[in-house]
Amino acid sequence: MQLNLFRVLFPGAKTSIIVATCVLFGLSLTVVLSGVVPPFTEDTARGVNVVHVVDTTGKYGEKREPSSHISLFSTTPGKLVKEVAQIGEGFVCGRDKPLDFVTFSVKYGCWTHNDTGSGWSESDIPTLHVESDIKGDCRITEILIDTKASTRWSLAINTEEIEDFRLKDNSELIPLDDKSSTDGWHIIQFSGGKNAPTKFNLTLFWIKNYTQIAHTDDSMTEHLLLKLRTDVDRLTAPAERVLMKLPAWCSLFGKSTSPPTLAFLSSLPVTF
C-alpha cells in the first residue's frame, strides 16, 4: 500500500534514481581513467607480487640452461604500466608470456631479465628423477623428488594420466579416499620446518590405456605429467632493487598459495 502510494506521488522517482546512479558511476570511472584521481593511493594501496623466478621446465633428461627473471604481477585489475615506468629495471608487460606457478597462473604480468642470474645457484634447483618405469597393463612409475634448498613446495599431478599415487614415508600428504582434481590436476602443498625432509619418493599408478602417442615439441609444455614449484625464503639482490623502487601506492600481497621472493619451477613431461 505504501509502495503504491509512493509510486503515485512520485511516478518518475525510480527512473530518476537509476539514471542518477548510472551518471555518478560513469563520472567516477571517467575521473579515475583520466588520471585526475588515481585508483590507488598510499591509503588504498595496490597489492602486487615480486618474485625472482628460476624456470627449468623442458625436455626430461636433456641439459638445459635454466631461465631466470623477475616477475611482477597483481591480483587487482588493470595494467601495470605506471608501476613499471617508475620502477624501471627493463620491465616488459603483456599477456604473451603466461606464468604457471602450479597453484595458480599469471595471465597478465611484467618481467625483466636484468641481472637475474645472481642470488641463486644450480644447487638450489629441484629435480624430478625417474627411478623406475614399469610399463604394461598396469604401468607404475617411481619418481624421486628432491626439493634441494626448499622446505615449502607445491606439486601438481596430472589426473588425466595418473589414476592413483602415493608418497612413501609421507602418506599424510595424500588423502586415503579418492584424490580430488581441479582442471585435471591434483595439487599437493607442503610446508615444513628447518629440519623438514627435502627428498620424497612418489609412486604413480597410470590409468588404463595411458598416453602412448608421441607429442610434438610445441605441445610438450601443455602435456605435462608433473609440475613442481619450490619456494625459498631468500631475497635476491635483483628482487630487492625492484622492491625498493615500488611506487608508494603499491604493497606486497600474497595468499597462502603465493610464492615468496624466490621460486623455482620444474616439470616432468608425459613422454619422459
pLDDT of 57: 80
Q: For residue 185, which of 164, 209, 156 has the smallest C-alpha distance? A: 156
Q: Selecting from 2.20.25, 3.30.1560, 2.30.30, 2.60.40, what CATH number does the domain 124-231+265-269 have?
A: 2.60.40
Compute the CA torsion angle 211, 216, 218, 222 (nearest 10 deg): 10
pLDDT of 69: 97
pLDDT in tens, 180-199: 888 899 999 999 888 888 99
pLDDT of 8: 54
pLDDT of 173: 67
- Distance from C-alpha of 229 to C-alpha of 237, rounded to nearest angstrom: 21
pLDDT in tens, 208-228: 876 554 444 444 445 899 999
pLDDT of 194: 83
User: Is residue 40 exposed (0-12), middle (13-18) or buried (19+ Cβ within 10 Å)?
Assistant: buried
C-alpha cell, 203: 609412486
pLDDT beneath 70: ranges in the chain:
1-44, 58-64, 169-178, 210-222
pLDDT of 179: 73
